[in-house]
Amino acid sequence: MPEELEKILKENQAIAIKINGEIKDLSYVSYLNGDEEIEIISPQTKEGLEILRHSVAHIMAHAVKDLFPDVKVTIGPAIEDGFYYDFDKDTPFTEEDLQKIEKRMHEIIKLKQPFIRKEISKDEAIKLFEALGESYKVEILNEIKDEKVSIYEEGGFIDLCRGPHIPHTGMVKAFKLLSVAGAYWKGDERNKMLQRIYGTAFPTKEELQDYLNFLEEVKKRDHRRLGKQLRIFEISEEVGPGLIIWLPNGAIIRKTIEDFWKDEHLKAGYQLLYTPHIAKLDLWKKSGHLDFYRENMYSPMDIDEISYQLKPMNCPFHIQVYKSELRSYRDLPLRFAELGTVYRYERSGVLHGLLRVRGFTQDDAHIFCTEEQLEEEIQKVLDFTLFILSTFGFNLYDIYISTRPEKYVGSIENWERATSALKEALKKRDLPYQIDPGEGVFYGPKIDIKIKDALNRSWQCSTIQVDFNIPERFEITYRGKDGKEHRPIMIHRALMGSLERFIGILIEHYAGAFPLWLAPVQVEIMSISEKHVDYATKIYNQLRSNGFRVKLNIENEKIGYKIRQASMNKIPYMVIVGEKEVEKNAITVRKRDGKNLELIKIEEFIESLNDEIINRK
């Protein structure tokens, strides 16, 4: 290796190198002839961090094989925030096992053992892994079409891998094993359940600690824990996984959101709909969902010898509403909105509180318009979406245009027209976007808006989809100015996505401390002693009659205990009533953050509450 290049590699903490645009192990440097285009890959880059994490996954597999020789290894990729490796082990790994694996990994790292790449024939590799008893590697090899494959050896541990890897194990400075979960081989429930160990790695210990602190904050905000603590929702095994039972507090939050949603849609020129939960199977054949969405649909049910289907979507029903009358160009655009509950099959392994469920309510709407109206309608939906999101406290987001997938319907010309309309609408609203290739739905391209929460995590919520296909399938038309029949364009859109998921995101975004307008209980009235119960009750009735959600706590408990309980329940305001308050015909108000307001009259308090609710602070 030339001395100058060696110096550059060391100064940049190189762990790999990009040669003519292709990432390679550092060992390839010795083959350079000087004419190549070279780029240094350090662990601080996105590509370098992925290589580092992938290498740590291999070190973990090495440690597991040392400690548990009978375990079979499968695959171990780097993922967005770390890495995992799947193992075939008859019993799950324990917390004690993870500690032993971490200890062994540190020993391997300390030895600074090199990652040595070898290229061998596929047949040689099959014989090698058969001899090692690694049947999963043999299965992978049998699916590879290449005649040659690469393997990596590190301290006697051999793994099938394309690479690249870090030069030696000693380059790992900071890692942590995080958790164990079950995972089916190749993600197929018909295959064996494997044990997946998750971990993460960073270039420095400081970055690792920052990430672990972030995970602690995520844990505190977990909507499943807070949902139980704050009595918002429940999932019962007797009812079934992925099916949400809204408790009284959750029902109030949901009602508040629904009322706001409906009022704003009526102001924006939408008409509200309610549609059935089932329909004849033929409806889903005609819409195309049965061909393109079958794996997400439940099995049909027979009623009077006719097959019916639980609805996975609302759009075919909205088509029926459109078809219920003759339509003219003067009627367009038509905007139909519905909080429609749909049912989709999700594997039990991916269900996750409110975020991944089997039955959920979409804040759905469909707009029928002419081609001339399309771009303006998309712009209006964008404005409406950002207004709704900002009202709930989401002002940061990333926008994507998802283009034509591999399986699609309709003409390429229509796809291009629809994609162009989405791009132009974003351009005119000066909203930057990225292209997400091949991620459109089967009937059309879409805009996806991913919001950022208080921890800067991204959540997919809002979507705007252009559809030329379903109007053609259902042969809907409108009478144009020329007296002829024309085909309308259909825009599918959801602003929050689903109420279940959106409320789950809200819980985590606010850590359960909802703004006043959303809080299930807005004020709790507390009496200091029995002498003050009548006055506390009077204040309670006055607040209730003014439309506030109020709780009265006149239990014979110390006031400090009452305050702690209300704080744990994240109630925005506590009104404390004692001797001083009775004498002054006033109240003492304590905010959720612990700050006490000065003694004020109840009328002033009511005025300030109303101002906060109206402005949705």
> Catalytic residue numbers?
315, 344, 362, 364, 366, 446, 492
- Other Cβ atoms closer than 10 A to 121: 12
In the block, residue with structure tokens 């409320």: 503
Q: Exposure pattern of 468-506 as b/e (b: 16+ CB <10 Å)?
A: bbbbbbbebbbeeeeeeeeebbbbbbbbbbbbbbbbbbb
Burial of 507 (0-12, 13-18, 19+ CB in 10 A): buried
The C-alpha atoms of residue 164 and residue 52 are separated, in whole angstroms, by 9
Residues 6+ apart with CB under 8 A from 487: 468, 471, 472, 476, 477
Task: Kindly state the tokens that stand for 324.
Answer: 């219920």
Q: Give the neighbor-by-neighbor strand order of the sheet with 306-310.
A: 278-280, 306-310, 301-303
Alpha carbon dihedral 309, 312, 315, 320, in 10-degree steps, equals 10
Rounded to whole angstroms, how far apart are CA atoms 388 and 332? 24
DSSP SS3 for 390: helix
Strands 157-160, 271-272: pairing is unpaired
- Angular region, 316: left φ>0, alpha ψ -120 to 50, beta rest: alpha
Tokens 């079934």 correspond to 240
Q: Distance between CA 606 and CA 543 in Å, rounded?
A: 7
In contact, 522 and 573? CB cutoff 8 Å: yes
Could you give the C-alpha distances from 456 to 176, 202, 204, 450, 459, in angstroms and in order? 22, 19, 21, 11, 10
